[in-house]
Amino acid sequence: MTQKVAVLGTGKIGEALLSGMIGAGWAPADLLVTARRRERAEELHARHGVTPVTNAEAAKSADTLILTVKPQDMGTLLDELAPHVPADRLVISGAAGIPTSFFEERLAPGTPVVRVMTNTPALVDEAMSVISAGTHATADHLAHTEEIFGAVGKTLRVPESQQDACTALSGSGPAYFFYLVEAMTDAGILLGLPRDKAHDLIVQSAIGAATMLRDSGEHPVKLRENVTSPAGTTINAIRELENHGVRAALIAALEAARDRSRELASGSKD
């Protein structure tokens, strides 16, 4: 039997997921999308051949509903959806912070809910998607969710109690690396390199380091030690990073992201 999947609130994450699913073999005819603005719905149809519908139509005709609106818009979307979602639909939330109980309290009793935190490398099929079951989600629901998010990268099951931490690490994670590249490119300019050359040097170093982290099987400390020659250049840079508290800043930054994820749990506008 064909499984229809609807993405509700198809913005950056929703579109990356759609695109990956189509690339992995899903038929556009089996994919429904909703958007708040008509021109956005038309754009998605033109780009991917998917069918724009209303939120209520999606709830009635898709087997799986993937909700990818901002956390602050989730309450409004659920108010609109709840009367139309039969209890046998799988509801997957891609929103930061919002617990599965938020959905279970608003949808028909027994509705299976799965919470997923993915990240923007979904655009290049290198996402990290972290998956947790709600009260009524079964092994089949988790497997189906893995099949969907597996189209855009890696998946990992975690207890829901770890979702806010995972949001801080991998959900927001790409932003920290982009920030580092931006700062290191600025350093290149300070050292007299043209911006485009500095950018290329840093990006290729990032790709090389990421590939080694993934493929070498070595601990990051060992990989760093291999770059750090006695009385060499790298140790001078590392001393400055330590002097400026970069390690402590990163720990505090991720803790702040985790805390914000917790605050988003209510789906309120604050």
Ligand X SMILES: O=C(O)[C@@H]1CCC=N1
Q: Which of 23, 109, 106 is nearest to 67 (CA)?
A: 106
Exactly one of 129, 145, 155, 167 binds ligand X (CB under 6 A); that residue is 167
In angstroms, the CA 122 to CA 45 distance is 20
Residue 172 engages ligand X in binding (rule: CB under 6 A): yes
Whichever of 32 and 117 has its CB closer to ligand X, that residue is 117
Total residues interacting with ligand X, rule: CB under 6 A? 4
Q: Which residues of the chain form contacts with ligand NDP (CB under 6 A)?
A: 8-9, 11-14, 34-37, 40, 55, 68-71, 73, 76-77, 94-96, 117-120, 171
- List Cα–Cα distances, 99 to 4, 135, 154, in angstroms: 25, 11, 22
CB of 171 to ligand X, least distance (A): 3
| Residue 152 in contact with ligand X, rule: CB under 6 A | no
Q: Choose, by CB under 6 A, the member of 14, 20, 94, 171 that binds ligand X.
A: 171
Whether the CA torsion 30, 36, 38, 40 is positive or negative: it is: negative
**Using CA atoms, how far apart are residues 65 and 123, in angstroms rounded to an integer?**
20
Cβ closest to ligand NDP, residue 92 vs residue 117 = 117
Contacts of 73 (CB under 8 A, 6+ apart): 9
Q: Which residue has the tokens 């300019």?
A: 189
Residue 144 or 258: the one with the smaller Cβ distance to ligand X is: 258
Ranked by CB distance to ligand X, the top (closest) residue is 171
Question: Residue 55 contacts by C-beta under 8 Å, 6 or more apart in sequence?
Answer: 8, 34, 77, 80, 81, 84
Contact yes or no for 14/41 (Cβ under 8 A): no
Which residue's entry shows tokens 């599965």? 100
Looking at the Cβ atoms of 54 and 228, the one nearer to ligand NDP is: 54
Query: Among ligand X, ligand NDP, none, what does residue 68 contact (CB within 5–8 Å per kind)?
Result: ligand NDP
Within residues 90-129, the interface with ligand X by CB under 6 A covers 96
Residue closest to ligand NDP (Cβ): 11
Residues contributing to the site for ligand X (CB under 6 A): 96, 167, 171-172
